Amino acid sequence: MTIFRGAVFDTPESPFAGGRLRASSDEGIVVRDGVIEARGPFTELRGAHRDDDVVALDGGLLLPGFVDTHVHFPQVRVIGGIGLPLLEWLERRALPEEGRLADPAYAARVAADFVSGLVAAGTTAAMVFGSHFQAAVDALFESAATAGLRVTSGLVVSDRNLPAELLSTPERAYEESAGAARRWHGVGRARYAVTPRFSLSSSDALLAACAAVLDDVPGAFFTSHVNENLQEIEQVTRLFQLSTYVATYDRHGLLGRRSVLAHNVHPGDDELATLAARTASIAHCPTSNAALGSGLFPLARHVHQGVRVALGSDVGAGSGFSLLKEGLQAYYTQQQLGADGYALWPAHLLHLATSAGAAALDLPDVGHLSVGQRFDAVWLRPAPGSTYDVALRHASGPDDALGKTFTLGTTADVAGVWIDGEPVRLVDRRRPTG
């Protein structure tokens, strides 16, 4: 048994439903076999656990591990390719790099970079958009298993409107997706996600093949993109002869509790009603939306219509793996919407980055640090004398400290990461992987 001692912040109850930040400046958390057995003020807890080892997390904050609900593994090396809207960015920046993952050795190096980047940012669980190549998807699952990361991912499938080397057929998409699911779904912490890239690169036959995989793999997830960019939406509705983008997935029965759609920057009210009825989740990717000029995410409409929302970094259109940065950008986005924006407070940002993500990925045992939960956590400890350190030491209370953390905290402040109570090794990233 181990007792973790530190300043612990989490959001067991959603602030969108009246919950508040739970914060304790000197908390003890007793962990046995990866599960939180007890917690409370350290000095009280210590009496009943005199012989247990104490891990003293002096300075900074202990938070639940971050949950990234939308991040592209093949795009880690194209982060920062700014200056283009979605469709041009895909053509000129993302897709040429995705083609390079046809080489399994290259894909394995990218997978290693990707997983170490996620973990170094304090992310302990993620819905990972995979690759169009089977061997690359295997490499991602292997790297994630080595690190111990909770990954839900799958083979990306498409059968039109992409470079030829990224295209499949409905039949092949079914066979290869089902094969990858057989290799990885439920193995260790891995789960499979059926992953058509987006409707613009999918025929109805391909989406039907995706639905067949979902039927045949109990507990599999579904992930894709929706309503990201106005030009994309216009092309999708024209191609499918449907009035909405959401309908392209919904009419194949692809939306449910284990479905995560990225973006949804431009939804109709009828689409929000469908997403709410299906209990599907939206991965809100604020730095990506800003970088690609996709638009300002209508969070208030999602919340008021009962659509589940969590955060995604959307690397490589997004600006990096930090969910602190995504939380801050989510806040800025709502501010920019003026009266139409949702008034976010620090507790909302923490919830979006942790417990909301765990709910979206159907991981009921993580996302907050209550008794009975698994101990997935990140320790943020600012470098002494840094502006974050100064700000944190002068915070007026827990909410202020958390606001300062989202504003000033970076991946450089991640001092420790645990999954199931085990420390995750932070790779020495000064060594290039080629």
Q: Is there a contact between 404 and 395 (Cβ–Cβ < 8 Å)? A: yes
272 binds ligand GUN (CB under 6 A): no
Which one, of 199, 192, 188, 250, lies nearest residue 216 by Cα? 192
What does 94 bind: Zn ion, ligand GUN, none (CB cut-off 5 to 8 Å by kind)?
ligand GUN
Residue 250 binds which of ligand GUN, Zn ion, none (CB < 5-8 A, kind-dependent): none
Nearer to ligand GUN, 21 or 317 (CB): 317
Beta strands in 291-350, from DSSP E residues, in sequence order: 308-311
Q: Are 369 and 29 in contact (CB under 8 A)?
A: yes
Which residue type is seen at 387? T
Is residue 90 a contact point for ligand GUN (CB under 6 A)? yes
Q: Yes or no: say if 107 and 98 are a contact pair by the CB < 8 Å rule.
A: no
Q: Does 228 bind ligand GUN (CB under 6 A)?
A: yes
Q: Where does this chain touch ligand GUN (CB under 6 A) — which range of 86-94, 247-255, 299-307, 402-410?
A: 86-94
CA proximity to 190, closest of 136, 155, 145: 145
DSSP H helices in 241-344: 246-250, 269-278, 286-291, 299-304, 323-336
- Residue 288 interacts with ligand GUN (CB under 6 A)? yes
Under rule CB under 6 A, residue 139 binds ligand GUN = no
Residue 255 DSSP one-character state: -
Contact with ligand GUN (CB under 6 A) among 317, 358, 380, 414: 317
Quick note: the x/- pattern for ligand GUN over 177-206, rule CB under 6 A, is --------------------xx--------
Instruction: Work out how close the CB of 88 gets to ligand GUN at its nearest, in angstroms, rounded to a whole number.
Output: 12
Distance between CA 195 and CA 209 in Å, rounded? 11
Site for ligand GUN in 140-179 (CB under 6 A): none
Q: Does 354 bind ligand GUN (CB under 6 A)?
A: no
Answer yes or no whether residue 314 interacts with ligand GUN by CB under 6 A: yes
Q: How far is the CB of 146 from ligand GUN (least distance, A)?
A: 25
Type of residue found at 141 = F
* 9 neighbors 22 (Cβ within 8 angstroms): yes
Site for ligand GUN in 44-73 (CB under 6 A): 72
Instruction: List the interface residues with ligand GUN, window 370-399 (CB under 6 A).
Output: none
Helix ranges (H only) for 33-94 are 42-48, 86-89
**Contact present, 147 and 425 (Cβ < 8 Å):** yes
Q: Cα–Cα distance between 230 and 232 in angstroms, integer? A: 5
Smallest distance, Å, CB 203 to ligand GUN?
Answer: 15
94 binds ligand GUN (CB under 6 A): yes
Q: Among residues 80, 116, 77, 112, which one has the least CA distance to residue 98?
A: 77
Establish if 326 lies at the interface with ligand GUN (CB under 6 A): no
Q: Which of 109, 189, 225, 258 binds ligand GUN (CB under 6 A)?
A: 225
**Smallest gap, in angstroms, from Cβ of residue 58 to ligand GUN?**
40
Q: Which residues bind Zn ion (CB under 5 A)?
A: 262, 314
Measured CA to CA, the distance from residue 221 to residue 259 in angstroms comes to 6
Angle between helix axes 134-147 and 170-184 (nearest 10 degrees) is 20
245 belongs to the binding site for ligand GUN (CB under 6 A): no
Q: Is there a contact between 125 and 191 (Cβ–Cβ < 8 Å)?
A: no
Comparison of 317 and 352: residue with beta carbon closer to ligand GUN: 317
Nearer to ligand GUN, 89 or 184 (CB): 89
In angstroms, the CA 151 to CA 145 distance is 8
Q: How far is the CB of 195 from ligand GUN (least distance, A)?
A: 10
Residue type, 99: G
| Contact set with ligand GUN (CB under 6 A) | 72, 86, 90, 94, 197-198, 225, 228, 288, 314, 317
